[in-house]
Chains A and B, each alone.
Chain A
Amino acid sequence: EAGVVQSPRYKIIEKKQPVAFWCNPISGHNTLYWYLQNLGQGPELLIRYENEEAVDDSQLPKDRFSAERLKGVDSTLKIQPAELGDSAVYLCASSLGDRASTDTQYFGPGTRLTVL
């Protein structure tokens, strides 16, 4: 069974440019998460979807970040415009979604973003 798929794996852009990341979760997983991971730190949740509904986006910087999961399967995360401090790894994870607090989250390999 394929795991969580993310693309691109690496992205280098200049500041003020837009960038988008794509995630395809494990088949059958209803819940999808986007995390940000700074170097040497644990992942921090940006947004959580249950099917196509964003149920927790409290940590998403909405002035420049947006996300969508239109058909309840794959998802995109966008930054516009990117800033130097956005350089990080952006991780996508998914879980079955049938047991809220004890669902195991499975992570993709992440997209490493470098903003110059």
Chain B
Amino acid sequence: GESVGLHLPTLSVQEGDNSIINCAYSNSASDYFIWYKQESGKGPQFIIDIRSNMDKRQGQRVTVLLNKTVKHLSLQIAATQPGDSAVYFCAETRYGALTFGSGTRLQVQP
């Protein structure tokens, strides 16, 4: 029902620590994966992407790891900052159709 969606998994970290957000995807044929960040009152914002023929990709302070064997995706944020507080969604795409996973709320404690 309505209450299920309100209970987002929450990850609470101390400022300066590294964060790891995990995601399980469903479609083994998906060829492209994306992490989005969504702050309150805003639309999802692109963070980093990875193609299915890769297992790791790094950006500025972020790294995405892809394990196709167990259909698992993770987002690592180095030196987490208060501005990183948001809901993070993984998404998979095949033939242009983007499917979002359930989000994780990241709370950064000062």
**Which residues of A are at the interface with B, using a C-beta cutoff of 8 A?**
4, 31, 33, 38-45, 48, 56, 91, 93, 100-110
Contact = CB atoms under 8 A, between A and B. Distances in A.
Interface residues of B, number: 30
Nearest to A9: B41
A108 B97 contact: no
A101 B7 CA distance: 31
B44 A107 contact: yes
18 contacts: A4-B43, A31-B96, A40-B6, A40-B7, A41-B5, A41-B100, A41-B102, A42-B100, A44-B100, A56-B96, A101-B96, A102-B49, A102-B51, A104-B49, A105-B46, A107-B36, A108-B43, A109-B43
Interface of B: 2, 5-8, 31-32, 34, 36, 41-46, 49, 51, 89, 91, 93-103
A100 B103 contact: no
B97 A107 contact: no
Contacts of A105: 46, 98
B91 A42 contact: yes
A42 B103 contact: yes
